[in-house]
Structure 1
Amino acid sequence: MTTGARPLGRRERNKQAKLDRITEAAAALFARHGVDDVTTQQIADAADIGAGTLFLYIRNKGELLLLVQNAHYAEALAEGERAATAVEGTLDAIVALLRPVVACNRAQVDNGRTYLREMVFGDPAEPQHARALSIVAQTQEAVAGLLARTSSVGATEAAALAQVVSAVMFVEMASSPEPDVDVVTDRVRRQIGVVLGLRG
């Protein structure tokens, strides 16, 4: 006898549909205007719900930005992992991994920088904040895996270096208003090269 996930009831389906509408409305408005210039009332109107209903799903705009951006960052990391498998050298492989994450962050620079701020200073008990930190941990694990695959460092050192590499990228993205993906990626590459003692 096979067991599968129990189908969602009508109430759960309605809640999920409403959350999907909220997420889609917020994503479109944030992309068009930037998170700072969008109000929760505009999001509620675009999602065709009342403002009070919106706050049953999210507590504030920062939490909603995390919800919207987490999916994009997870996709970018998966893209980077695929790209890195085809690259031999350590520095080149790490940059191939990180470039899609940088591109995701630069898609709307202010949103990207606000997302990183929410990630660092947001409420750690909030599920979307925890998901964002999980993506950071996955990024570090992927970098550590590349270091173990392409260099002679052991697992413990690779994990420590991966934290530094991740910090370099996130600080550069958070501090720079530069919209050009190649410029930001090149800055990250240079800093990582110095940290890891690599050139190329």
Structure 2
Amino acid sequence: MSGLRERNKQEKLRRIQQAAWHLFMQQGFEATTTRQVAALAQVGSGTLFLYAKDKQDLLLLAYNEMLEETIEQAFRLLPPEGNVLDTLVCLFQSFFRLYQQHPENARVYVQVVALQAQAQRYREQALQQIERFGQQLAELLTQFQHKGALAPDVSVEQASKNFFALYFAILCQWLSGQLSFEEAQGAALRQAFALQLRGMEPQGEKR
């Protein structure tokens, strides 16, 4: 019986996540209401609030799931023979493409994850997701290090954090209107990563 209850619970969560994502993409964060999400998910408003305490929680729930899929696909589709710069740019461009679907929603999501003081139910999940991505990125950088593309004394854990910080800064510049989408996910990302990589090259290759 407990197994059936858990399956029902997960099924309701899935419907709520999908309904929230659909409405946020269709109407935007501001125009979407929790009542609309509950109706589309075919659950009562009281039931909805057992899974998400407010609309920001619903946005986190929706984006966390989509980001999980984006990360899995991004690593799976990386070019097998790409150099380190092209590989990193390709990887992080996946996030830009996801956020481009609705920049208003992305702006709210990033603000809540990065700056929200009050505890949202799914904010910790988002932060853990970033941490796992950082670990995967460090593993990818280790592969390039073993191929001689990065100096042996480079800390791949710190390098992973540096690349994510550069990406996040450029993402915020785009979401705040300082850069166009094409500039952000193109030249700005590539130039920032290239400059970072110059300090990580093996000694004989530094220019």
- Using the size of structure 1 for normalisation, the TM-score is 0.82
Distance 1:101 1:155 in 2: 29
2:151 partner SS: coil
The yes-or-no answer on 1:8 pairing with 2:6 is no
Counterpart for residue 112 of structure 1:
106
Q: CA deviation at 1:124?
A: 8.2
Counterpart for residue 94 of structure 1:
88
Q: Name the count of aligned residue pairs.
A: 192
Distance 1:71 1:7 in 2: 25
Q: CA deviation at 1:69?
A: 0.9
Counterpart for residue 36 of structure 1:
30
Q: Deviations over 1:145-194 (max 9, x none)?
A: 33322223347622112111101212222331369754322122221212
Counterpart for residue 175 of structure 1:
173
Matched to 2:109, the amino acid is Y
2:3 partner SS: coil
Q: Is the 8 A contact 2:13 2:51 kept in 1?
A: yes
Q: CA deviation at 1:68?
A: 0.9
Q: Mark the runs of 5 or more structure 1 residues left unpaired by the alignment.
A: 1-5
1:95 partner SS: helix
Q: Is the 8 A contact 1:76 1:101 kept in 2?
A: yes
Distance 2:29 2:56 in 1: 9
Q: Is the 8 A contact 2:174 2:180 kept in 1?
A: no
Q: Mark the runs of 5 or more structure 2 residues left unpaired by the alignment.
A: 200-207
Q: Matches of residues 30-69 of structure 1 in structure 2 within 5 Å? A: 30-69=24-63
Q: CA RMSD in A?
A: 2.7
Distance 2:107 2:18 in 1: 20
**Percent of residue pairs bearing the same amino acid type:** 27
Change (3 A) 1:58 1:155: farther
Matched to 2:166, the amino acid is V
1:88 partner SS: coil
Distance 1:182 1:82 in 2: 24
Distance 1:38 1:118 in 2: 17
- Using the size of structure 2 for normalisation, the TM-score is 0.79
Counterpart for residue 140 of structure 2:
146
Distance 2:181 2:196 in 1: 21
Counterpart for residue 160 of structure 2:
162
